[in-house]
Chain A
């Protein structure tokens, strides 16, 4: 009498058809395409060029009106004053072009004079150079320098 193990001669499932694989691949590609479109639309909606510089904004001043934009410039030293709901300061572009910013909300940890910032907001009127900001973003540079260089004096007189 055959054992139970050997008597189980149930038919083997046929190999999966290539068309099934193809449809699954198409499904993956469709989902992937949709995910990329969502990400791209976010990127494009928020514009590939993330901000307008002060120079660009002033050059397009009439067309910008009071539209919400991201404005980039360098914080002018000595211009920062803390207000009850945020900070006001002046940002500069090239050739000393300036925009006065009154921003609401707490600025980021690195916010300080002489640092590039991006301010989200709008000009207060279609002709004004005053900018009302709702958010300050700090755009730090790629340069890294020690905070206290030349603080230690070597016996030979050199500093390091």
Chain B
């Protein structure tokens, strides 16, 4: 009952959170002292990056670990990892695009080869590589095992991205939310809107993941149905 209700509410609640974020971000929150109205990208870019790096890539990694662990091994875990990685690719691309749009007027350039940007681009390549690796393997068990190992190895890049602004001197700003001294550097209504954007985009990820997962289950069952039909046809041919 609760599960059904939460599944039904996921979409509307996501849309409500995102609509509220855009309303607050575009009309209610004040312009920033330095950045002026450019600050409104604060309600999109960090939340999208949060989902790309931690939520979606994290989901894919955890599902991959659970697949490799004998006790929890199932194709459901492999399917979750696959779907989460596909959604992750979308969010990584969005992270790079929104960051670039923000970078042009603030930094003065669309792109800089600093440690944060380079490592994020590498994560994008790794996520696409994961999907390519899946397509390269025909055997489902082999595919699940290889891609799980690859996802876990790729996840090493996530802490590198996170700490890159501390380990090296970058053009990208330091941490805004997860600062080393746990001090939020965003003031007033801007902070609440930022928090709401994190909730909205996280819910959007789970909504997309759920939709993609259902699609994958349908695709697999259709394939199985076609295979069964083909086998039946062969059997009939044999009889005749």
Q: Footprint of B on A, CB under 8 Å?
A: 2, 6, 9, 15-16, 18, 20-21, 24-25, 27-29, 31-32, 35-36, 39-40, 42-43, 45-46, 48-51, 53, 72, 107-112, 115, 118, 135-149
Contacts and interface: CB of A to CB of B under 8 A. Distances in A.
Given A28-B136, A50-B170, A110 B187 contact: no
Contacts of A111: 108
B125 A146 contact: no
Interface string B99-122: 000000111110011110011011
Contact of A36 (B106, B122, B136): B122
Contact of A147 (B31, B109, B112): B31
B32 A9 contact: no
B111 to A, nearest CB: 10
A42 B132 contact: no
A36 to B, nearest CB: 6
B115 A48 contact: yes
Interface residues of B, number: 52
Interface in B157-177: 168-171, 173-176
A51 B132 CA distance: 36
Interface in B121-137: 121-122, 125-126, 129, 132-133, 136-137
A133 to B, nearest CB: 12
The 4 A-B pairs at the shortest CB distance, nearest first, are namely A108-B108, A43-B118, A46-B113, A24-B136
A48 B185 contact: no
Nearest to A49: B169
B95 to A, nearest CB: 15
Given A32-B129, A42-B118, A149-B30, 10 more contacts: A21-B137, A21-B142, A42-B113, A46-B112, A49-B169, A50-B169, A137-B107, A137-B112, A138-B106, A145-B32
